[in-house]
Amino acid sequence: MTKKILIVDDEPHLRTLIQQTLEELEDDGVELITATNGEEALAVIRDEEPDLVFLDVMMPKKNGFDVCNEVKNELGLSHIHIVLLTAKGQEFDRQRGQEVGADLYMTKPFDPDALVAKARSVLGLPA
Amino acid sequence: MAGLTLRALLNPRSGTYAVVKTFCDQAGPGLSIVDSSGRLLLGAKLSGEPHSHTSVPINCGDATLGFVAGPQAHAAAVAQLVTHLAARETEQRALAAETLHLYREINLIEQLSEQLAAILNIPAVSESALAQAQRLIAATHGSVLLVEKSTGALQIEGSFAPPAGSGNRLCGALMPDSLFAASVLERGVAEIVNNCAGDPRACGNECSLRALILAPLRAGQRTAGLIALASTEPDASYSAADLKLLNTIALQAAAAVENAALCAEMVESARERAAYAAELQAASSVQQLLLQGASRPTPGFQVESVYLPASEVGGDFFYVQPAPDGSLLAIVGDVSGKGLTAAMRVAMILGVLRRETSYDPAEILSSLNNALVAQGHLGFATACCIRIALSGEFAFANAGHIAPYVLKRELQTIPALPLGLVAGQSFKLVQGRLNNGERLVLLSDGVPEARSQSGELFGFERTAALCSQAADGIARTAQQFGQEDDITVVTLTVSE
């Protein structure tokens, strides 16, 4: 079964950055999917059940905390690994991320190597 | 960055796909787009090759990403659109690649800062700085060279190079005697050399380097050394951006090197202090033993002695010895200096007194004076020496020391220089008599020079007033007032 990574960010250039960072995983058969806001992200998650989601926090319609909370605690999809990826770095936000069940909280500007390493680790791909 | 493919550009989930599809639908039937391997990406595979249909390439730079097949005019228009979109996508990807490169640099520099802040030894700092520099800047060789503080010479603290046997003749980017290194150290400015072999400073194996980049490790006004990266790759060339990066790493590394050096100095200093404290403790024990043996019970006399050093070891001394005729010899003194040096002088003086055969106070002081002068570097000492008979008759000589007290009065002395200043100095005796029950007090300047917290001196008046008390009472009173120096009190009473 194809492994899928969902990239959720309302900023097109950041989607491109994350996509480009992760595109080397396409050689391992990983499919990269994108969504531009929280509601779209939830729809894609329901339909596609990606293995890993890189989720922006500050987004229109539905923010990343709410999306994460819904996926982890309401949709019964807690097995989906969620990495909150945000420009916010306050401890309060980090705690909020933990409360809604995020598996990891990474800050922007993210470390591209760490992002790929995390994806490989979650998807069980060789480093 | 991987090259753009038409398949990626026309991913059905992408906005580009939606635009191109709409355009094709509007243009009419019979259009299809295939990638360079002939794989259909959009439209329907054309059956047959009607002569009215053509295949227009979609180019991106020098590469042909695929073709638009269909009626000539429409196919050309779609190909132009997709070519334009591919060019824009390529630009975006180039920008993204540049941004990701900056992201990578920011994160690596942050990691380096965190690592260096936690490292407190210089070789590890050097290795860490080189490892991070190698991740950010392409290099086959690298070195960290530090200035040895005592000699000013450069030393290799860390390096990397291709493994031996790969034709590599250098163990790092630079050797300590490199003229490139000397130049950067002297000017304190980073430098790029993109044609090493053509640079007059290149010598020996440095000529095999293609490009070299060096940055000084500056901490404040001091240049602690330098970091250098080099490449033997034929097309290697360093840029101003590389120079800025290496400079940033060098600044971080320099601060860490200084911290590590400071830490090493502190550890060494603490070790020395501990060793000195142990020596002082040993000297204190030796001094206590020496002074315990400095007072012997003498029939017919009551002798009390108290010795309170201000630190582990003191510079005061006393010695009480019965004479063959039943009289008693006593001396109290104070050597110049503090600590171990003073303790060594006291030990030497006690040794001289033990070997002394005379019981004449003036002769004894002369002997001590000669011994101290002979040693030269041992400084000087003050001392008061007294011999008292069972009858109470006494004679004393004084070498710059506090005079003895009897009945709360200071005895008159004949002025003389302290011991150890002038060779061949003689001392004159002062005679007197101690009646039954009277107490003669010899003491050191630690008593009158005791000082309270408010700065008030204990003084000679209080000292005189105390001198009817026992030795312990005198010493403790002065100590409680505020001890600043060693306190020694010896009291002599003729038994009834």
**Mean pLDDT along residues B130-154:** 91
Q: What gap in Å lies between CA B448 and CA B463, rounded to an integer?
A: 6
| Phi, psi angle pair for B480, to nearest 5° | -70, -25
What residues contact residue B406 under an 8 Å CB cut-off, 6+ apart? B432, B434, B438, B439, B440, B441, B467
**Mean pLDDT along residues B372-378:** 79
Q: Tell me B161's DSSP state.
A: -
With contacts defined as CB-CB under 8 Å, which chain A residues touch B107? 109-114
Stretch 76-105 of chain B: residues touching chain A, C-beta under 8 Å: 92-93, 95-97, 99-100, 102-104
Residue B167 clears pLDDT 70, i.e. is over it: no
Angle, helix B122-136 to helix B72-118, in steps of 10 degrees: 180
Q: How far is B102 from chain A (nearest CA, A)?
A: 9
Decide if B114 touches A, using CB distance below 8 A.
Answer: no
Confidence of residue B163 (pLDDT cuts 50, 70, 90): confident
Angle, helix B240-292 to helix B72-118, in steps of 10 degrees: 10
Interface test with B, best of A22, A111, A116 (most B CBs within 10 A): A111
Q: How far is A16 from chain B (nearest CA, A)?
A: 7
Confidence of residue B495 (pLDDT cuts 50, 70, 90): confident
Measured between CA atoms, the residue of chain B closest to residue A24 is B2
**Amino acid letter, residue B231:** S
B104/A112 Cβ within 8 A: yes
Greater confidence (B226 vs A92) lies with: B226
Torsion of Cα atoms, B251 then B256 then B258 then B262, to 10°? 160
Average pLDDT, chain B: 88
Distances (CA, A) of A99 to A103, B75, B99, B135, B189: 10, 55, 32, 36, 51
Residue B170 clears pLDDT 70, i.e. is over it: no
A13/B100 Cβ within 8 A: no
Q: Which two tokens stand for residue B59?
A: 């180019």
Residue B208 clears pLDDT 60, i.e. is over it: yes
Q: Are B446 and B478 in contact (CB under 8 A)?
A: yes
pLDDT computed for residue B184 by the predictor: 92
B103/A112 Cβ within 8 A: yes
pLDDT computed for residue B332 by the predictor: 95
Confidence of residue B331 (pLDDT cuts 50, 70, 90): very high
Residue in B2, B96, B104 nearest the CB of A111: B104
Decide if B267 touches A, using CB distance below 8 A.
Answer: no
CA neighbor of B227 nearest in space, from B216, B235, B211, B236? B216
B102/A17 Cβ within 8 A: no
Q: How far is B11 from chain A (nearest CA, A)?
A: 10
CA angle A83/B118/A117 to nearest 5° reads: 25
**Mean pLDDT along residues B473-481:** 94
With contacts defined as CB-CB under 8 Å, which chain A residues touch B2? 23-24
Residue B450 clears pLDDT 60, i.e. is over it: yes
**Mean pLDDT along residues B292-319:** 82
Q: B235: buried, middle or exposed (CB in 10 Å: 19+, 13-18, 0-12)?
A: exposed
Q: What gap in Å lies between CA A81 and CA A72, rounded to an integer?
A: 9
Radius of gyration for chain B, computed over Cα atoms and rounded to the nearest angstrom: 46
**Mean pLDDT along residues A46-69:** 93
Residue in B13, B100, B107 nearest the CB of A33: B13
Looking only at the bridges linking them, the beta strands covering B32-35 and A81-86 are: unpaired
Q: How far is A45 from chain B (nearest CA, A)?
A: 15
Confidence of residue B169 (pLDDT cuts 50, 70, 90): low
Q: How far is B486 from chain A (nearest CA, A)?
A: 59
Q: Helices H, strands E: what count in chain B?
A: 10, 19
Instruction: Walk me through the domains of chain B, giving residue ranges and CATH numbers.
Output: 6-103 (no CATH), 119-264 (3.30.450.40), 293-494 (3.60.40.10)
pLDDT computed for residue A76 by the predictor: 85
Residue in B8, B102, B104 nearest the CB of A113: B104
Q: Which two tokens stand for residue A21?
A: 């960072």
Q: What confidence tens digit (pLDDT) does each residue in B227-248 have? A: 999 999 999 999 998 999 899 9
ipTM associated with this complex: 0.81
Confidence of residue B365 (pLDDT cuts 50, 70, 90): very high
If residue B471 lies in a helix (H) or strand (E), which one and from where to where?
helix B471-482
pLDDT computed for residue B121 by the predictor: 86
**Mean pLDDT along residues B64-72:** 91
Task: Return the SS3 of B214.
Answer: strand
Interface of A with B (CB under 8 A): 13, 16-17, 20-21, 23-24, 33-34, 109-114
Residue B166 clears pLDDT 70, i.e. is over it: no
Q: Which two tokens stand for residue B109?
A: 């520099």
Greater confidence (B27 vs B48) lies with: B27
Confidence of residue B165 (pLDDT cuts 50, 70, 90): low
Confidence of residue A6 (pLDDT cuts 50, 70, 90): very high
Q: What gap in Å lies between CA A4 and CA A24, rounded to an integer?
A: 13
Confidence of residue B164 (pLDDT cuts 50, 70, 90): low
Residue environment code for B171-203, b if the CB has 16+ CB neighbours within 10 A, otherwise e: ebbbbeebebbebbbeeeebbbbeebeebeebe
Measured between CA atoms, the residue of chain A closest to residue B1 is A20
What is the percent of chain B where pLDDT is above 90? 51
Q: What confidence tens digit (pLDDT) does each residue in B74-118 have? A: 899 999 999 999 999 888 888 888 898 888 888 888 888 888 888
Confidence of residue B154 (pLDDT cuts 50, 70, 90): very high
Count of C-beta atoms within a 10 Å radius of residue B391: 12
With contacts defined as CB-CB under 8 Å, which chain B residues touch A13? 92, 95-96, 99
- Cross-strand bridge partners of residue B375: none
Q: What gap in Å lies between CA B309 and CA B281, rounded to an integer?
A: 13
Which CATH code of 3.40.50.20, 3.20.20.450, 2.40.10.410, 3.40.50.2300 fits the domain covering A3-122?
A: 3.40.50.2300
